[in-house]
Amino acid sequence: MTEISELTALELRNALRHGEVGARDAAAHFLERIEALNPALGSFVTVTAERAMDAAAQADSDLAAGHAPGMLHGMPLAYKDLLDVAGVPTGYGTAAFEPTLAQKDSPLVATLSRAGAISLGKTQVPEFGLSCHSENDVAPPARNPLDPTRSAGGSSGGEAAAVAAGMLPFGPGNDGGGSVRIPASACGLIGLKPGLGTIPSDILDGIVDTFGAPRLTVSGPLARTALDAALLMDAMVDPEKETYLESLGEGAVDALRGLRIGVSTASPFASAYAIKLSSDAHAALDAGFKSLRARGHHLEEAEIFYDRAYPETFATVWTSGLAAAPIPPGSEAKLGTLARSFRERATAREHKTSVEAAARLTEIAADFRTQWGRYDVVLTPAMAFAPPEIGFYTSQDADTDYMRQCQYTPYTSMVNVSGLPAITVPTFTTAAGLSMGVQMIGRAGSEAMLLALAAQLTTM
């Protein structure tokens, strides 16, 4: 008999809804895997086993009583330690204050709970979700299941490592500068960053930040297959409709042909840092190129020119909110090197500087959309090189840390700025067994098409 963790998320969901697998059996199985694997991988910072088993027992009782199962009936998952789960501490990956016991669920948590999902705990993140790794000063780092000496990416690194290692069937992440796509690429998963506003819970506070800049962070699925990503995406958007899952059915994946795809290795960070692609990154891009061409798409080199002001403008917007972070007086010294330095700069910055940067970034975002809009899809490398070793970033001063992050992830934050959807897909395995892939950037509303392209790339 196939082990529960060997099923795809969609297979498990269907088995749970039909009573072929009990919710208690599924929760117990994944909790056992967490107990066995987490000490070596650092994926979870909190495991809520008793709460999970109680919720699973209730799910089994409801199904036995004839209640209609939700879209994610009995599905085990977990949440980044940046999201509130009622009754569970939220730590934000920082030593600057004690974890706070959440009084209510974050909106995304509430949505997925309404769909029937069962939380097994909270997963590791960098401090305040600021970085493209998942290392902090309060818990062991999230390690890559493909090579535990290396980073699982971030800021959804704990989540991605748990999914890749089979501690979860799939996982919800959030992405403010690549935080779904980066760990997905590092761990060999599919990671979808939806367009801003696609998931209703993302824009309850509006579509711009307090300075008027485009809101950067959206929620998105981490999954092993395109179908699994589509299922979780559906639950995030509307637990009553399987829109994305249905879009991949009845030959739709094979029927998708003839897209005009622009291929680019240009990065907006190149005006500030040396952006160098490894041979593995080139191999992954070439593999994606060939697979998409074999599927009948038209690929061509894209001429894209990025505003040289992007690196400084983005950094200002990215860090401005730290000035308002609720750090208790006298606790700044407990912040990590990067967060402490960025907070000092944000606090010293004049308000008008942040407002001006927000306006400039809005203009840059419009330019991105115009240039990319000449194509149905823009294809880039996912990352510039293979996932680095643990400590590659945190052993450095703040500026070197940030530079290295930009050099590893030269293609991700620009998509958040644009508000458009993008997906990373594995296309190549290195000689050392690490995963590399490509990113595909779509037009507004093209999430279903991107999922279909991901299916094409992973089912050749």
Catalytic residues: 80, 155, 179
- In a 10 Å sphere around its CB, with 0-12 CB exposed, 13-18 middle and 19+ buried, how is residue 370 labelled? exposed
The residue written with tokens 């419009």 in the block is 366
Per the structure block, which two tokens stand in for 32?
């056992």
**Contact in structure between 36 and 69 (CB atoms under 8 Å):** no
Q: Determine whether 60 is exposed, middle or buried from the number of CB atoms within 10 Å of its CB (0-12, 13-18, 19+).
A: buried
Q: Tally Cβ neighbours within 10 Å of residue 336.
A: 24
Distance CA 250, CA 361 (A): 41
Angle between helices 226-237 and 9-17 (to 10 degrees): 60
Local structure of residue 99 (DSSP, 8 states): P
DSSP state of 81: T
- From the CB of residue 23, how many other CB atoms can be counted at a distance below 10 Å? 27
Q: What is the 3-state secondary structure (H, E, C) of 49-78?
A: HHHHHHHHHHHHHHHHCCCCCCCCCCCEEE
Give the 3-state secondary structure of residue 171. strand
Phi, psi of 261 (to 5 degrees): -115, 120
141, 115 contact by CB (below 8 A): no
DSSP for 374-413? TSSEEEEES-SSSPPBTTTTTTS-HHHHHHHHHHH-TTTH
Number of other residues whose CB lies within 10 A of the CB of residue 103: 8
Instruction: For the beta carbon of residue 355, count every other beta carbon within 10 angstroms.
Output: 15
Of the candidates 368, 21, 435, 3, which has an alpha carbon nearest to the alpha carbon of residue 187?
435
CA atoms within 13 A on the CB side of 74: 33
For residues 290 and 287, give the distance between their C-alpha atoms in angstroms, rounded to a whole number. 5
What token pair was written down for 74? 């009995």
Q: Which amino acid is at 444?
A: A
Handedness of CA 216, 220, 224, 226 (dihedral sign): negative
